[in-house]
């Protein structure tokens, strides 16, 4: 394999990984802090794409669309947390309720999108400035995919800064390991939960808006990203932010080179990686040994 093909396949895998990470990181963050398994997380990715479609239709600007997607998805996320998810937290039957509730969100959001925007596929065009491509020798790399990689890195760095260098980040980390204790120290835990939900769903919405020019904007697309995101979250360790990053990169690159070398088996690769990881590290690669604390 020539170096050029390696680079092309590697960068392609990286751009897939970054979009995957944007969705999976939100999913894992919600699990880590709020202990909620948000099945509907992919649906925020979907509504992000639709919010961006609507904003672009109104203002004719891609970036306003991206901002609208993140804000819109974040607001819907916080609303659902306040109105529904908060109501079941701490109950004995919480686990089963979470699944029922968040699964219901998938159906409701899918149908809401269909009612508002209709069943036909929507299209979002890339911004003019990112529509070109770079050539490395014989290999072409679209500018837009490079931008997604860049954006992913910016989010990783900011997330690292916020989580480990700011007071808010420390509260989030503390709430993730023992929310009752944090509450006793005078922190408004339910506000933290709502904000975490908002940020996580906003990231899903952002991913939806960024992916929209490359993919299909249609009802039901949320369910398709949630499976891959679940794999990433499980491999990385439930609730582990850095685990999600590592696992997204792993899945992205394993798929990229798997498709090149053994295309017949490509759709099995993600699952194969997950199985191997779970055999050796049943709680995921980056799991904290103690796991989830039971109170």
Partner 1 sequence: MKRKSVSILSALLVCLTSAVSFSAETIKIGALYPMSGRGGLYGQDSEAAIKIALAEVNAKGLPGGRKLEAIVTDDQSKPALAVTLAKRYITEDKVKFLYGVVSSGAALAVTEVSKEYKTIFVGSDHAATDLTANAFQKYYFRVSNNTYQSMAAGALYMQETKMGGKIAYIGPDYAYGRDQIAELKYSLGKLGVKYEMVGEFWPKLYEPDYTSYITAIIKAKPDVLVSGFWGGDTVAFIKQAKAYGLFDKMKYFHPDGGGNYEVFAALGAECPEGLIMSARHHNNWPETKENRDFVEKFKKATGRYPSYAAEGAYAGILVIAEAIKKVGNADDTEALVKAMEGLKVKLPEDPAGFTSYIDPATHQMVQAQAIGVTVKNDKFPPAKYMLGKFKVYAADKIMATQEYIDILKKTKK
Q: Which is nearer to partner 1, 157 or 272 (CB)?
A: 272
Q: State both tokens at 86.
A: 């908060």
Per-residue binding letters, 126-165, with partner 1 (x by CB under 8 A): x----x-x-----xxxx-xx--------------------
Asked if 260 touches partner 1 (CB under 8 A), the answer is yes
The span from the CA of 124 to the CA of 120, in Å, is 13
Segment lying near partner 1 (by CB under 8 A), choices 97-105, 171-179, 193-201, 217-225: 217-225
Q: Which is nearer to partner 1, 90 or 132 (CB)?
A: 132
Using the CB atoms, write b or e for 264-293: b if 16+ within 10 Å. Answer: eeeeebbeebbeebeeeeebbbbbbeeeee
At how many degrees (to 10) do helices 221-236 and 269-280 cross?
Answer: 30
- Least CB distance from residue 116 to partner 1, whole Å? 13
Half-sphere exposure of 11 toward its Cβ, with a 13 Å CA cutoff? 20
SS3 content of the chain, % helix, strand, coil (to 5): 75, 5, 20
Considering only 206, 209, 211, 231, the residue that binds partner 1 (CB under 8 A) is: 211
Tokens of 285: 């690669």
Tell me which of 100, 104, 116, 120 binds partner 1, using CB under 8 A: 120
Is 216 among the residues that bind partner 1 (CB under 8 A)?
Answer: yes
Q: How far is the CB of 185 from partner 1 (least distance, A)?
A: 42
Among 173, 220, 242, 287, contact with partner 1 (rule: CB under 8 A): 220
Within positions 7 to 26, which residues make up the interface with partner 1, using CB under 8 A? 8-9, 12-13, 15-16, 19
Q: Which residue number, 66 or 195, has a Cβ lying nearer to partner 1?
A: 66
Burial string for 35-63 (b: 16+ CB within 10 Å, else e) reads bbbbbbbbbbbbbbbbbbbbbbeeeeebe
Angle, helices 62-80 vs 189-211, to 10°: value is 140
- By CB under 8 A, tell whether 169 contacts partner 1: no
Residues that bind partner 1 (CB under 8 A): 5, 8-9, 12-13, 15-16, 19, 107, 110-111, 114, 118-123, 125-126, 131, 133, 139-142, 144-145, 211, 213-221, 223-225, 228, 255-256, 259-260, 263-264, 266-267
């Amino acid at each position: 394999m020539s170096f050029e093909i390696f680079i092309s396949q590697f960068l392609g895998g990286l751009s897939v990984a970054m979009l995957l990470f944007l969705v999976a990181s939100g999913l894992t963050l919600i699990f880590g802090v709020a202990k909620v398994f948000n099945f509907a997380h992919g649906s925020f990715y979907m509504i992000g794409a639709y919010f961006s479609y609507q904003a672009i239709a109104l203002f004719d600007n891609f970036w306003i669309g991206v901002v609208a997607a993140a804000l819109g998805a974040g607001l819907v996320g916080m609303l659902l947390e306040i109105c529904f998810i908060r109501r079941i937290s701490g109950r004995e039957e919480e686990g089963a309720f979470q699944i029922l509730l968040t699964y219901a969100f998938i159906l409701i959001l899918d149908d809401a999108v269909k009612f508002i925007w209709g069943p036909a596929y929507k299209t979002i065009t890339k911004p003019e400035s990112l529509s070109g491509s770079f050539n490395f020798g014989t290999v072409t790399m679209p500018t837009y995919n490079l931008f997604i990689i860049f954006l992913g890195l910016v989010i990783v760095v900011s997330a690292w800064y916020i989580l480990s260098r700011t007071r808010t980040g420390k509260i989030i980390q503390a709430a993730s390991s023992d929310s009752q204790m944090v509450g006793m120290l005078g922190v408004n835990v339910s506000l933290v939960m709502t904000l975490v939900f908002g940020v996580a769903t906003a990231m899903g919405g952002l991913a939806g808006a960024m992916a929209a020019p490359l993919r299909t904007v249609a009802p039901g697309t949320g369910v398709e990203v949630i499976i891959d995101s679940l794999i990433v979250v499980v491999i990385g360790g439930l609730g582990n932010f850095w685990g999600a990053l590592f696992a997204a990169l792993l899945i992205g690159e394993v798929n990229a080179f798997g498709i090149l070398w053994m295309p017949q088996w490509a759709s099995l690769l993600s699952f194969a990686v997950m199985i191997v990881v779970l055999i050796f590290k049943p709680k995921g690669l980056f799991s904290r040994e103690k796991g989830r604390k039971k109170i």
